[in-house]
Amino acid sequence: MAVLGQNQYGKAENRVVRITRDGTTHHIKDLNVSVALSGDMEEVHYSGSNANVLPTDTTKNTVFAFAKEHGIESAEQFGVHLARHFVTSQRAIHRARIRVEEYAWDRIEHAGKGAHSFVRKGQETRLTQITYDGSSWEVVSGLKDLVVMNSTDSEFWGYVKDKYTTLPEAYDRILATRVSARWRFNWTDDAQKMPDWEKSYEQTRKHMLQAFADTYSLSLQQTLYQMGSRIIDHRGEIDEVRFSMPNQHHFLVDLEPFGLKNDNEVYLAADRPYGLIEATVLRDGCEARIPADLTNL
């Protein structure tokens, strides 16, 4: 005879981003929240009766609603609020387990602008590819997995619409992307002075981030071009920059069913599908030589 053992259910990996707006200074809490509930759940397993089952979709909605109602002071406190709610509000639920991963962000400091630009902590992987044929060099350096976000100063509207278009125009949105970039040096010959590689990387990354922070964006393509052109303008040792930038979509959550107004505060962070923007920015008169697939390595 078979009997039911330990069991639980819930909604896993709810990606919630909470923006707290203190004037022009913004604060980000970026969490991945998983809910697991257990209690009097024998009948749903034995007979399929859902009489004691709180839908997992409801647990998801609760995560987003609590982000608005209670805010997110810390991952621990947010989890306490959720666990207490599920156990005390549902007679059949005896145990709630809330797992929270928090993704930290550092500010990108930029003079004369509001404090609303961030770079994910942990940051990027630095890369380089050196090719030498016995007489000439090709050095392509870069980075991958540099996650950046502007919590405002981004719009997306005026695009082509057809009968399949459902995306609403946005006049104040989150712009976030995971930057993969490669840049080609114009140092090709031992007779030339070799670049200061460490300084070049530091400064190239700095200009890339500064352009991202300073650009009031009407499209991710525009931001990409500004990042590349700033590198070309400020780093004479670089002739070509190639970017691959997936759009890390953040959608406003509809909280009206819960009687709450979402004033650009609570977002669903969607990891797929995503828009993928790719382009090369060149020094005038130079030819593109970085392979398109190199930015995927």
Residues labelled as active-site residues: 11, 56, 249
Query: Taking the CB of residue 148, how many other CB atoms lie within 10 A of it?
Result: 25
Terminal CA-to-CA distance of the chain, rounded, Å? 54
CA 174 to chain centre: 9
Q: Which residues neighbour 197 within 8 Å (Cβ) at sequence distance 6 or greater? A: 141
Query: Helix 197-214 to helix 220-234 angle, to the nearest 10 degrees?
Result: 140
Residue 142 · residue 297 · CB < 8 Å:
no
Sign of the Cα pseudo-torsion (139, 144, 149, 155, in order): positive
Q: What are phi and psi of 30, to 5 degrees?
A: -120, 105
Backbone angles phi, psi at 242, to 5 degrees: -120, 130
What distance in Å separates the CA atoms of residue 11 and residue 72, rounded to the nearest whole number?
A: 19
Q: Say if residues 2 and 51 touch (Cβ distance below 8 Å).
A: no
257: tokens are 């069913």
